[in-house]
Amino acid sequence: MSDFRVIYHEPICPECGSFDIDRDQVDTGDGLSETAHICGDCGTAWPLACVTDWTAMVPAPQPSPAPDPLTRR
Ligand SMILES: [Zn+2]
């Protein structure tokens, strides 16, 4: 029994919160282009792939202290 569920990111403008979002190829300036979300209201464009702002809000786990090297007495 499988219980897969696909979760789609809701395209919401990070600037104005509009749901009027379109997708288009945006020139990144390096001669490359990538698919981006574009707000239909304020024109803000942001990439589909990375959502660094969201993941940055998750507190990073404290780095565990390196285990002391075995010392020979
Ligand atoms: Zn907007």
- Edge-first strand listing for the sheet containing 33-39: 21-27, 33-39, 45-47
pLDDT score for 64 = 74
Calculate how far, in angstroms, residue 51's C-alpha sits from the geometric centre of ligand 1.
Answer: 16
Q: What is the phi/psi pair of residue 13, to 5°?
A: -65, 125
Higher pLDDT, 52 or 44: 44
What are residue 39's DSSP bridge partners? 21
Alpha carbon distance 54, 62 (integer Å): 19
CA distances to 23, 58, 73 from 50, in Å: 15, 15, 51
Q: Is the pTM of this model over 0.85?
A: no
Calculate how far, in angstroms, residue 47's C-alpha sits from the geometric centre of ligand 1.
Answer: 14
Query: Predicted confidence band at 61 (pLDDT cuts at 50, 70, 90)?
Result: low
Calculate how far, in angstroms, residue 70's C-alpha sits from the geometric centre of ligand 1.
Answer: 57
Calculate how far, in angstroms, residue 14's C-alpha sits from the geometric centre of ligand 1.
Answer: 7
What is the number of residues in the chain?
A: 73
* Domain locations in the chain as residue ranges: 8-44
Calculate how far, in angstroms, residue 50's C-alpha sits from the geometric centre of ligand 1.
Answer: 18
Higher pLDDT, 53 or 65: 65
> Each residue of 4-51: pLDDT tens digit?
776 555 678 989 999 999 988 888 788 888 888 899 999 998 877 654
